[in-house]
Amino acid sequence: MNLQQVFSQSDLVGQAVALLLLAMSIASWVVILWKAWVLRRAGADVARGVAAFWQAPNLEDAATQVGAFDRDGLVLPLIQATQAPDGGTLAAAGERTQQLTRTLRDALHAIMGRLQFGQVLLATIGSTAPFVGLLGTVWGIYHALTGIAGSGQISIERVAGPVGEALIMTAAGLAVAIPAVLAYNWFGRVIGRVEAELEGFARDLRELMK
């Protein structure tokens, strides 16, 4: 029996669980494909952008040269954060080192927030999809056993079929969760490498500009 037949023979609860798993699968794969593309670009752009910065003769030319490589705006915000704040404000109070630390930290947090986007969704799907599938299995078994008991004919042959069909929901939950968990872990390592490179660049900027 295929999934379409299982879906058509399920009640509203079983169909709702199946649709929820389908929505979770689509959402996770959209995020996986999008983040794989973004992080692939990010790793290359950060490396080339940082190299272009140190090859520039001055800060103005550096911003221009980095802009040619920084397609997702991961390096330029750090360079722009080195500009002195307007006078007469609290942002301009304190020593120059303190100002740079604050502005570079804020810029770095904003950049990392963009790189981390979608990670919570993958983690949520990876942790909840198996339980959603298990819920569908438990409800399917209950629904099947209730129907069999109502017919007055109980045998191992009549029980095995509906129970096996209900177990498909557990397999579906695992099929949704496993790619999300693997992608979350992989993206986390890639983001960690990019973050380390950006943090090192931010420290270098602070030492250069103070």
Kindly report, residue by residue over 117-148, the tens digit of the pLDDT.
999 999 999 999 999 999 888 887 877 777 66
User: Rounded to an integer, what distance in angstroms lies between the CA atom of residue 89 and that of residue 157?
Assistant: 80
Residue with tokens 């029996």, as numbered in its chain:
1
Asked if pLDDT for residue 1 goes beyond 60, the answer is no
**pLDDT level of residue 150 (50, 70, 90 thresholds):** low
Residue with tokens 């604050």, as numbered in its chain:
102
User: Rounded to an integer, what distance in angstroms lies between the CA atom of residue 114 and that of residue 88?
Assistant: 31
User: Rounded to an integer, what distance in angstroms lies between the CA atom of residue 25 and that of residue 18?
Assistant: 11
User: Rounded to an integer, what distance in angstroms lies between the CA atom of residue 133 and that of residue 121?
Assistant: 17
User: Rounded to an integer, what distance in angstroms lies between the CA atom of residue 145 and that of residue 17?
Assistant: 19
Running DSSP on this structure, what letter comes out for residue 154?
A: -
- pLDDT tens for residues 169-187? 889 999 999 999 999 999 9
* Domain ranges (residues) in the chain: 14-82+92-209
User: Rounded to an integer, what distance in angstroms lies between the CA atom of residue 203 and that of residue 186?
Assistant: 26
- pLDDT tens for residues 51-66? 999 998 888 888 888 8
pTM: 0.81
Q: Would you give the distance in Å from CA 130 to the centre of its chain?
A: 18
Do 164 and 186 contact (CB within 8 A), yes or no?
Answer: no
Mean pLDDT value across the chain:
85
Q: How many CB atoms lie within 10 A of CB 157?
A: 7
Asked if pLDDT for residue 29 goes beyond 90, the answer is yes
